[in-house]
Amino acid sequence: MKFLKLKKDQIEDFFDSIHSFGIVYAPVKSDGKISFRRAQNFSDVSLEYTRSQIPPKHVILPMEEPILKFREEEYFEVVDDENKVLLGVHHCDIIAFKMLDEVYLQPPKDIYYHERIKRTLIIGLSCIPDNYCFCKATNSFYTSDGFDIFLHDCGDFYFVRVATPRGLKVTENSKNLFEKVDEKDMELFVKAEKERFERVKGKNLWMIGDLIELRDENFWKIFSERCLNCGNCTLVCPTCQCFEVYDELEEDLKSGNRFRRWDSCMLRAHGLVADGHNFRERTEERLRNRLSCKLGEMRCVGCGRCTVYCPTGIDILEIVRALKE
């Protein structure tokens, strides 16, 4: 790791410089909501934010993308070779990428994910936690890898961590913007991180996987009673990996595209098989499967999105509390 310092009045120049690496995606605020979008000008970017509704996952794993083109029965791959910069990613969302890596880069590799992630420069950013965050419990409060550069907000400067050769090259290309760190900068960095640490609620997820398995149907019924099977909790989740695959035809009826699209285990088709049998017919079964996937298999980064964006207020921490009671 290399440590540097970037004064806040230099951040705009730094922003301008990273465009030479690739298309920049950053947190952009519109109608009071944060989304990771293409950002041309620094004035569009909001670096002070708590969470985006849709995680930055979509930059690497688009919500909907053509994966193949076909003509008759011949298939051709469609691969995105754009270089990208993903700026302003919080610890939890970086750790979520690491979890997705484990799935998508496990042999056989998913080339669509792989091609994108390897061409994407990830610039992390320290966060502003709120009461919905529980990243301490999921061990995703702080990350030491999964990024090229990390910016820690320390008041009037960013304490910068550089983790990869690629990241180093980017900082060296704009050498004049960065300064060396001294003892005082280090102290301020530690202080800022401590303050951030204090802001996150502590939670213990000890034996939660077994408790999810042990609780019976009636337990899950209580929490799924308010569930509308809308799927929002999974669509805003940074670690959800499920996708659906389908074909669309073009005008000539012979060629077309094979698409994949984010899917949700809270929807009916997820557990359906050809003869009409559904392995997760009831909402309580789907809720338990979701909790099992997230907390049982520990693929949760404690970002709080599933609770914040649930239209009916189903609170993952409330379920955790009840599981342990």
Partner 1 sequence: MENEFLPRRVRIEETKMMTSLEKWFKLDAQLDFKPGQFLEISVAGAGEAPISICSWNGVEICVRKVGRVSSALHQREKGDFIGIRGPYGNGFPMKEIEGEKLILVAGGLGMAPLRSVLQYVLKNRKKYGEVTFFYGIKCLEMMLFRDELLKLMEEENVNLHIAYEIEDEEIRNLKKRFPERFHKGMVTTLFEKVKVNTESFVVVCGPPIMYKFVLKKMEELGFYKERIYMTLERRMKCGTGKCRHCVVGIGSSSKLICRDGPVFSAIDAELIRELV
Partner 2 sequence: MKPKIGILGFTGCAGCQLMILNLEDELLDIFKRIKLVSFQMASSEMKDEKLDIAFVEGSITTEEQKKELEKIRKKSKILVAIGNCATLGGVQALSNGIKSSREMMKEVYGGEFWRLMDSKPLSEFVEVDFELFGCPIEKQEFLEMIRFLLRGFIPLKRDYPVCLECKLKDNECILLEKRICLGPLTVAGCGARCPSLGLECLGCRGVIEGEARLESAIKIFEDAGVSAEDVKKIFRIFSANYPDILEVKS
The binding site for partner 1 (CB under 8 A) comprises 67-68, 70-75, 77, 79, 103-104, 106, 108-112, 114, 209-210, 212-213, 241-249, 253-254, 256, 258, 260, 263, 265, 269-277, 279, 288-289, 292-293, 295-297
Rank residues 52 and 143 by Cβ distance to partner 2 and give the closer one.
52
Residue 78 contacts which entry, partner 1, partner 2, none (Cβ below 5-8 A, type-dependent): none
SS3 sequence of 97-138? HHHHHHHHCCCCCCHHHHHHHHCEEEEEECCCCCCCCCCCCC
CB of 26 to partner 2, least distance (A): 15
Residue type, 247: D
Interface with partner 2, residue 319, by CB under 8 A: no
- Residue 1, judged by CB atoms within 10 A of its CB (0-12, 13-18, 19+), counts as exposed
Pairing mode, if any, of strands 23-30 and 120-125?
Answer: unpaired
Cβ proximity of 258 and 68 under 8 Å: yes
Per partner kind, with CB cut-offs from 5 to 8 A, the member of partner 2, partner 1, none near residue 296 is partner 1
Residue 277 contact among partner 2, partner 1, none, beta carbon within 5 to 8 Å by kind: partner 1
Report the residue from 242, 267, 298, 317 that binds partner 2 according to the rule CB under 8 A.
267
Binding to partner 2 by CB under 8 A, coded x per residue (else -) over 102-121, reads --------------------
Among 140, 143, 264, 307, contact with partner 2 (rule: CB under 8 A):
264
- What distance in Å separates the CA atoms of residue 213 and residue 193, rounded to the nearest whole number? 36
Cα–Cα distances (Å) from 219 to 150, 191, 212, 231, 284, in that order, read 42, 42, 10, 20, 9
Contact criterion met (CB below 8 Å) for 123 and 149: yes
DSSP letter assigned to residue 24 = E
Task: Give the one residue of 7, 23, 35, 50 binding partner 2; rule: CB under 8 A.
Answer: 35
Binding partner at 287 among partner 1, partner 2, none, C-beta below 5 to 8 Å by kind: none
Q: Are strands 33-38 and 23-30 parallel, antiparallel or unpaired?
A: antiparallel
Name which of partner 1, partner 2, none residue 292 binds, using a CB cut-off of 5 to 8 Å depending on partner kind: partner 1
CB 294 within 8 A of CB 300: yes
Q: Site map for partner 2, 273-292, x if CB under 8 A? A: ----------x---------
Among residues 58 and 270, whose Cβ is nearest to partner 1?
270
Q: What is the DSSP string of 61-107?
A: S-SEEEEEEEETTEEEE------EEEEEE-HHHHHHHHHHHHHHSSS
Nearest CB to partner 1, comparing residues 197 and 279: 279
| Contact set for partner 2, span 224-253 (CB under 8 A) | 225-232, 235-236, 246, 248-251, 253
Q: Residues 4, 65: contact at Cβ < 8 Å? A: no
Q: Which residues bind partner 2 (CB under 8 A)?
A: 31, 33, 35, 53-54, 63-64, 225-232, 235-236, 246, 248-251, 253, 261-262, 264, 267-269, 283, 309, 311-312
